[in-house]
Chain A
């Protein structure tokens, strides 16, 4: 058995440090015991080896990738406790190299935490309180477990970084295509379709399928990964917008007059004449609602599962042609020509909020996947990012030379703006931070002015529709690397899709539940309860729950004379009055006592300022 570490190793300083840390003050009577213990058990060498290995492993784990977006919050692991190594030693002498529960990074736990710890628990009865505490502890436990399960995620997000701080915006698509593997390079392609130009496009929720429609009537849908065409038709009418419904089998096309729905074979299933002159479409996948903004100024919600129009809201702001949805709470954002952005829910006839964003009209709106940031661009050539968490204030602003006509957010928070025939992409510091508008992350110039933009979900791909056709750009770090197989699975089979469809339809969220805070349903609505009470009192003119004034009952046999009635009434009133007086007296006494106790506790000598204390 080896005992002493060789001097040639690369880690002895660490080990020495550890040893010095553990070194106890030397006692003359203990001199004998230390070597015997070492000799007796085969454990210590093994331990030493472990301890030597551990710092090495940590060093490896801490290699940080210098990149702009892929910075994961890497939290230093909690220092393990080495307080009492002797007690942890087992019979064999081996020691657990990783004692205690595995550490979990705090930020990751925070991500999964659903309870606001900063708010105190409401004052309630002991039983309720204990139940709430148990629920909170359970919640914490689940969030820790979910955070641990992050370890199992298979994929890492993409990234792009230039050579020693070189600006990534100068890297062109050709370079990226050259550098990446074949599979990814195949995701870059250009469809040269100059004939039926400018194109709008839409990716399906799984990111597997792409549909596009040209202004001159060309509509096509394809599996863009395998490049398999699903359908291609010419609708012989202007196509304003195109959108997949809940699955890739259904396709909504906003045509010149009416809204049409096609299946993946290109067969027209429905022509919805109640939605006419539609300019923009948005599909809310969890509510199965197709929101349409029309030239007539109406925002119409169509429930595609039952084919009923849920709500038709008049925005009273003229022609609507700027629309986007907030994927976090399914609120529709409409941009208007007077520079405001209004937030709509089908449950309300009036907008939930109106934000004055620009001096000119609003040209484009986009909301990120966490529902925290909204990017707007206007005729005043400005690009602004707003905070949607209640303040609705711009976080950052940038003036662009021509102004952006199209905006889109990626799943990981990249912002793309289409300006003329140029596409600019900005990135932030990770998913939950706003994109910084100083320096673009990537730029690209197309063969025609941009007409539609969308990041492909779960892929590092940006689809751009322009007058020259469709371009599929590579944007490393745009897509969410790990999808959830039960939510939207790009690799799902037909059976899986069918099963998902049934489940999704079963748990269709009612349209009335759309509001600014999607967790509002889990909260106790105290405010509206009180307000309802107040309104009821106002409506009725009196408080129905108030205690009725005492009215003496009429009694028989001459005891019901006016005098006796008044007497009885007075008696009750006096009794109530006495009760009140008694209560107030008690309160006064209590306050007095409380004050005295306080005065005594603060100090022996009264201060000159005490006379002002009330």
Chain B
């Protein structure tokens, strides 16, 4: 028995294998030997043969086919079908020639006069010079694979582009799907929480950045302990028992070699950034004993001067134990003081009598102050724009002020649902991060009133202090191109409902979510009431106050 049986045997494989690399089957009937051996013909070879370039083909005219009585085109079958007239001057001799060629094979089809039945029936030798000698121009697409395939494995792949729209159908739907994917991936990879630095035995009260080193962060705790952390290794480098009671403020010197702390024990201490040598005791460089409790400290950005706040704002020279000057305006405790990083003689402070006071260090008196509805917890200066600072307020909002026009804030940032405790600018000055008593952190663009981003993690504790640390990554050009492309796509399709829903979605803790809803209702009610009041009172008697001006009580100079 033979397997496979005859009816299952392939007609292709049953043919005898032709020589050369063409394996197994499929011997094309009309195919020259060269083409059979080389699937492609290289230009060099073709140059030798002289057949690579397109050229008008002049068939070698046989002596019988002199140009004078060239063979007229034979009327093909289809034209006969259409009733096209036969060429009347067709010489019979040529027809018979083709007849002879055919008859030598003894095939009926050829005998009918059609030259077109040459395909598998006519042997190669029988047709080339004998058939007619029409002069025609023909060019076929013939690509040289060398232009499309890389030469070695070390090369990049060649990718020829053609931006013809017909080769790229469904442009809009495909871009839409790409935008959808990009939006989804953005949400998938948004994992904002990097690490927690564990070690403090009590709540962390204040934080400070190192001015020269991105990886170093200082934190002061409620039990008087200061720790220095390495962010890349995520461990604690050094622990100092700095104060008795709370550490109220930490700041680093502009050169990064030492840092200052203030505490509940009415002292200001200066510490070396590097740890003590072997066998030495951990001791502050200087200690200043004050009369009252200090609640905050900040260092000048260029000089050996620092400022503390408490009952009043004191400005100290590092070398002296008494303040250079102390400034007050009103009688209340000042919660924070900040030096302007650009105009380095300027200071801002905020006090619990709802005001923000600005000072110039060169004068002994404060410059001006603005009184808001509720008290401000912290302020932060924009590191890029000298006049701009942002205040974190108890009325759930943040206010960005221009120092020159304090009566109207540049922008009111509303998204928190509880008192805002701390704020810090990014080094680029384009956005800032804020922490609130509602146990959430939000990132706001400077020019937007709504937050861009809420890093969501399980809120367990309130963030009392935070600092914005930017870390830069070097992207390769391809990564950057892909990122830019995706960004553009997201922008383009941002208003499509499906994409909008995914892009806007944030998983908020239920408490925050319900509070947001509640406050929306309250706000709407307030707005409605105001509108009604305006509507039902004498026109002009109730002034329309914009949201920006609403919370400013007074500006005093």
Q: Which residues of A contact B396 (CB under 8 A)?
A: none
Interface residues of B in 136-173 (CB under 8 A from A): 136-143, 145, 147-149, 157-173
Task: Please tell me which stretch of A46-54, A226-234, A294-302, A339-347 contacts chain B, meaning at least 4 of its Cβ atoms lie within 8 angstroms of it.
Answer: A226-234
From A154, A182, A422, contact of B41 by CB (8 A): A182
Task: Please tell me which stretch of A10-18, A170-178, A576-584, A587-595 contacts chain B, meaning at least 4 of its Cβ atoms lie within 8 angstroms of it.
Answer: A170-178
Interface residues of B in 104-162 (CB under 8 A from A): 109, 114-121, 127-128, 131-132, 134-143, 145, 147-149, 157-162
Q: Is the CB of B117 within 8 A of A447?
A: yes
The interface centre, meaning the residue of B46, B121, B137 with most chain A CB atoms within 10 A of its CB, is: B137
A499 → chain B closest CB, angstroms = 10
Task: Kindly state whether residue B77 has any CB partner on chain A within 8 Å.
Answer: yes
- Please give the number of chain A residues whose Cβ is less than 8 angstroms from any Cβ of chain B in the complex: 112
Q: A178-B128, A181-B46 are in contact. Are A112 and B163 (CB under 8 A)?
A: yes
Q: Which residues of A contact B138 (CB under 8 A)?
A: 158-161, 171, 176, 179-180, 476
Q: Is the CB of A447 within 8 A of B160?
A: no
From B35, B73, B119, B145, contact of A185 by CB (8 A): B35
- Kindly report which residue of chain A lies nearest to residue B82, judged by CB atoms: A401
B262 → chain A closest CB, angstroms = 50
Q: Is the CB of A232 within 8 A of B13?
A: yes
Interface residues of A in 513-536 (CB under 8 A from B): 513, 518-522
Q: Is the CB of A177 within 8 A of B143?
A: no
Task: Kindly state whether residue B322 has any CB partner on chain A within 8 Å.
Answer: no
Q: Is the CB of A327 within 8 A of B76?
A: no
From A154, A162, A181, A440, contact of B160 by CB (8 A): A154
Task: Kindly state whether residue A268 has any CB partner on chain B within 8 Å.
Answer: no
- Kindly report which residue of chain A lies nearest to residue B127, judged by CB atoms: A174
Q: Is the interface of B mostly helix, strand, loop or mixed?
A: loop
The interface centre, meaning the residue of B11, B39, B141 with most chain A CB atoms within 10 A of its CB, is: B141
From B52, B142, B166, contact of A431 by CB (8 A): B166
Q: A330-B170, A483-B160 are in contact. Are A445 and B116 (CB under 8 A)?
A: yes
- The proximity string for B residues 74-86 relative to A, scoring 1 for CB distances below 8 Å and 0 otherwise, is 1111110110000
Q: In whole angstroms, what is the CA distance A330 to B173 when docked? A: 12
Q: A166-B136, A476-B139, A513-B173 are in contact. Are A447 and B73 (CB under 8 A)?
A: no
Q: A191-B26, A509-B174 are in contact. Are A182 and B163 (CB under 8 A)?
A: no
Q: Which residues of A contact B26 (CB under 8 A)?
A: 189, 191, 222, 227, 229
Q: Is the CB of B136 within 8 A of A163?
A: yes
Q: Is the CB of B11 within 8 A of A447?
A: no
Interface residues of A in 396-438 (CB under 8 A from B): 400-402, 411, 419, 422, 424, 431
Task: Kindly state whether residue B292 has any CB partner on chain A within 8 Å.
Answer: no
Q: Is the CB of A190 within 8 A of B119?
A: yes
Interface residues of B in 36-83 (CB under 8 A from A): 36, 38-41, 46, 49, 51-54, 57, 59, 73-79, 81-82
Q: Which residues of B contact A471 (CB under 8 A)?
A: 119
- Kindly report which residue of chain B lies nearest to residue A510, judged by CB atoms: B177
Q: Which residues of B contact A513 (CB under 8 A)?
A: 173, 176
Task: Please tell me which stretch of A384-392, A488-496, A547-555 contacts chain B, meaning at least 4 of its Cβ atoms lie within 8 angstroms of it.
Answer: A488-496
Q: Is the CB of A193 within 8 A of B11?
A: yes
Task: Kindly state whether residue A141 has any CB partner on chain B within 8 Å.
Answer: no
- Kindly report which residue of chain B lies nearest to residue A189, judged by CB atoms: B28
From B23, B76, B79, contact of A229 by CB (8 A): B23
Q: In whole angstroms, what is the CA distance A188 to B32 when docked? A: 11
Q: In whole angstroms, what is the CA distance A459 to B81 when docked? A: 30
Task: Kindly state whether residue B288 has any CB partner on chain A within 8 Å.
Answer: no
Q: Which residues of A contact B164 (CB under 8 A)?
A: 111, 480, 482, 484
Q: Which residues of A contact B141 (CB under 8 A)?
A: 155, 157-158, 184, 458-460, 476, 479, 481
Q: Is the CB of B174 within 8 A of A174?
A: no
Q: Is the CB of B139 within 8 A of A445?
A: no
Q: Is the CB of B177 within 8 A of A509?
A: yes
The interface centre, meaning the residue of B30, B75, B132 with most chain A CB atoms within 10 A of its CB, is: B30
- Kindly report which residue of chain A lies nearest to residue B80, judged by CB atoms: A401
- The proximity string for A residues 185-221 relative to B, scoring 1 for CB distances below 8 Å and 0 otherwise, is 1111111110110000000000000000000001010
Q: In whole angstroms, what is the CA distance A151 to B172 when docked? A: 26
- Kindly report which residue of chain A lies nearest to residue B18, judged by CB atoms: A227
The interface centre, meaning the residue of A111, A180, A471 with most chain B CB atoms within 10 A of its CB, is: A180
Q: Which residues of A contact B157 (CB under 8 A)?
A: 493, 495-496
Q: In whole angstroms, what is the CA distance A444 to B174 when docked? A: 40
Task: Kindly state whether residue A610 has any CB partner on chain B within 8 Å.
Answer: no
From B38, B119, B167, B170, contact of A518 by CB (8 A): B170
Q: Is the CB of A519 within 8 A of B172?
A: yes
From B54, B114, B140, B172, contact of A522 by CB (8 A): B172
Q: In whole angstroms, what is the CA distance A487 to B170 when docked? A: 12
User: Nearest 10 pairs between A and B by C-beta?
Assistant: A189-B28, A170-B73, A179-B57, A485-B159, A186-B35, A184-B140, A163-B135, A491-B148, A401-B81, A482-B162
4 A-B pairs besides A180-B140, A180-B142, A480-B167 with CB distance below 8 A are A173-B116, A181-B54, A495-B157, A513-B173
User: What are 18 A-B interface contacts by the 8 Å CB criterion?
Assistant: A70-B139, A111-B165, A154-B147, A160-B138, A181-B54, A184-B142, A185-B32, A191-B28, A218-B11, A227-B39, A229-B23, A328-B166, A370-B166, A485-B158, A486-B161, A495-B157, A506-B181, A521-B176
